[in-house]
Structure 1
């Protein structure tokens, strides 16, 4: 009871704010500085602020150099949206003791997905995205001069390490400018659960500004590139949110990787409330591997999917993902780890297998 009352007070203290500003002062309790290099990178998504989150202690004990918050960092996407209630949700998450310890101790970067963006399955049409963006940047304690404050969305990129041992983290925003999905004509049918593919060339996933920015990022020198998307990218066989619902935009991504000769791309995603590993070989400059890690608090234990390009069984327990770059062996080791930190799904990629053929 006492803890609940304290959480309620914390939430109330953030309520009733005036219109948000996109230029708040630098927070006094800024997160740990980002590391100069990063070879162990954890990532995870889907944490409900009303649920206990002991897995943060497990991730911290795994000693990542960097953590990626992969979206749905809280859950607030109601039909009647309000800034006050969004801030209450963030206050509950901030007060969760395992999370609070973790973000004070572990350097991190973050993206959002629909439930912290503020609209379930939402895209460019969401009316309160500016307010939601301000709250997101406040929660993750972005400094006043953060480039995201002047962009349309929260896309971002960071580089870690020196030449020859360089990891680039590219965070995509698949909400801010994304065109509307085409709703299924057979709701709940396998492969058509909510949406169907739409090849309308006028529709966009990222918007012109972000596409141009992404091309510049892919031209940067890097040995390993972690491209992070809230929704799944290469995954086939289901009718939930995914890049495949805008197939021309997904092919545009593949073609851009080829055009820029961006080697070392590994895709990370969340959203689905389970973990899995996928591999795509068609229409891509080299085989692309995607790891979905989605289940910090409430995984979908009964999940099933056709998974035609899935190379692992689904993992439906509480979990997180880990990327380990083995520089001497020139490999990237990917895993999904349980509440004890034990790898339950694994895949290894050689650097030489992440290069476009000449």
Structure 2
């Protein structure tokens, strides 16, 4: 009897062992795999749907796992020509109509369809995850903010373009802001997409860019679980404020033109002790890397890539591109990062470009390589940043008093006025010199003509 019980117990244990092994294996098979490590991210802005877009080949060759649209993903509004005289005058003292005016919803939808069918972009959609936000031209109107009446339909069209799920929270909220988390623990990247249009107050008001609801959301995102990198995507530049040095010739939208909002953003990063923050931005039709050392407890970088098709050098014939580069070099910038990786002396790039981020997770020390690349994929500006340089100070750690003396702590608005207006002085001086030269030339031609006339009369 005892032997029979022992055999029975042995059989029971064997059955239990097989069952546990089977269910354990099944459980292991059904448990979700850890998210893949993301180490290559591309981004860009300002892509006109009707222009040639060869740059997508270079983006694909970079082999990104993620691509981030930074706005002006299409040019949805319409533009009247520069005209000082006639029925519709868009410039000058007799201007009677705005130069830009919105498209219909049907026109916007058609433009998105054209953009989505570009062959290079179609290939990218099959290779990488694509996310994004908007800027003014895909919002519906140049430089528009919360006053724009077509923003609700524009939001739906953008989210359709991005293949956003029908039940996505982005379709139910006022604005297209969102956040994403990529990678396994220890190698996580949080991407925060800001909406700088839907709630933005008028330019020059120093009001709000994000609006109350988005500020509450952003604070919650930054206070949430930490990540090794936090990429904050803004359609307009965060660090640079070139309008302070290009005025009164022209101005560009940026956080710097809403100084209280920018201070609030920097203060929020400090107060939440968020490590690893990088900004990426677009809008300005050139690429550059800027840095501010006194906005938080570590340096805040802003990598600007603009545009995929639109570029400042396209505004002049190719033989005169050097003039644009010279003016870029002449324009004062206290925030721009200069270094050996820049193709041009100004460390700006005014031809089509895209942004690139490479994270070397397994390097010692860990490094994030950020840069701007041209249509062949070659770097035109770049910086290697240590993860350790994107960390808040430990409790009790002394503040480096020498930090405030660094070049990247002086705001453009704090420059002496004669330095800040250097570009304007040069341009107005050049125009004046040309005018004087033209007057002198005419004067000399008149004198020579008179002498010739007198000579012929004498003869």
Answer yes or no: is the 8 Å Cα contact 1:226–1:265 preserved in 2.
yes
2:53 paired with 1:43: no
Task: Render the CA deviation track for 1:36-62: whole Å, top value 9, x for unaligned.
Answer: 431110011111011111111211111
* CA distance in 2: counterparts of 1:259 and 1:45, whole angstroms: 30
For residue 355 of structure 1, report the CA deviation from its aligned partner: 1.4
Question: Under a length normalisation based on structure 1, what TM-score does the superposition of the two structures give?
Answer: 0.83
* Equivalent of 1:332 in 363, 368, 379: 368
For residue 285 of structure 1, report the CA deviation from its aligned partner: 2.6
2:353 paired with 1:319: yes
Question: Under a length normalisation based on structure 2, what TM-score does the superposition of the two structures give?
Answer: 0.65
Answer yes or no: is the 8 Å Cα contact 2:241–2:255 preserved in 1.
no
* Equivalent of 1:230 in 232, 235, 244: 235
Following TM superposition, the consecutive aligned residue runs of length 4 or more in structure 1 with deviations greater than 4 angstroms are none
For residue 324 of structure 1, report the CA deviation from its aligned partner: 0.8
Aligned positions of 1:211-222 closer than 5 A: 211-219=215-223, 220-222=225-227
Partner of 1:194: none
* CA distance in 2: counterparts of 1:132 and 1:237, whole angstroms: 29
Aligned positions of 1:1-358 closer than 5 A: 36-78=36-78, 79-182=101-204, 198-199=205-206, 203-219=207-223, 220-238=225-243, 239-301=251-313, 302=324, 304=328, 305-312=331-338, 313-328=347-362, 329-358=365-394
Moved more, 121-130 or 69-78: 69-78
Partner of 1:5: none
* CA distance in 1: counterparts of 2:188 and 2:212, whole angstroms: 28
Local SS of the residue matching 1:133: helix
Could you say which structure has the larger radius of gyration? 2
Answer yes or no: is the 8 Å Cα contact 1:237–1:308 preserved in 2.
no
Local SS of the residue matching 1:73: coil
Relative to its length, the structure with more strand (as a share) is 1
Provide the alpha-carbon RMSD of the alignment: 1.4
Local SS of the residue matching 1:221: coil
Local SS of the residue matching 2:163: coil
* CA distance in 2: counterparts of 1:226 and 1:293, whole angstroms: 14
For residue 307 of structure 1, report the CA deviation from its aligned partner: 2.0
Partner of 2:452: none
* CA distance in 2: counterparts of 1:165 and 1:283, whole angstroms: 26
Local SS of the residue matching 1:268: strand
For CA contacts below 8 A with separation 6 or more, give which structure has more relative contact order.
1
Answer yes or no: is the 8 Å Cα contact 1:77–1:115 preserved in 2.
yes
Partner of 2:403: none
For residue 306 of structure 1, report the CA deviation from its aligned partner: 2.5
Task: Render the CA deviation track for 1:213-250: whole Å, top value 9, x for unaligned.
Answer: 11111123101011000000011332310001111110
* CA distance in 2: counterparts of 1:283 and 1:59, whole angstroms: 32
Partner of 1:12: none
For residue 289 of structure 1, report the CA deviation from its aligned partner: 0.6
* CA distance in 2: counterparts of 1:86 and 1:167, whole angstroms: 33
Local SS of the residue matching 1:356: coil
For residue 107 of structure 1, report the CA deviation from its aligned partner: 1.1
Task: Render the CA deviation track for 1:287-306: whole Å, top value 9, x for unaligned.
Answer: 10110000211211136342
* CA distance in 1: counterparts of 2:102 and 2:387, whole angstroms: 48
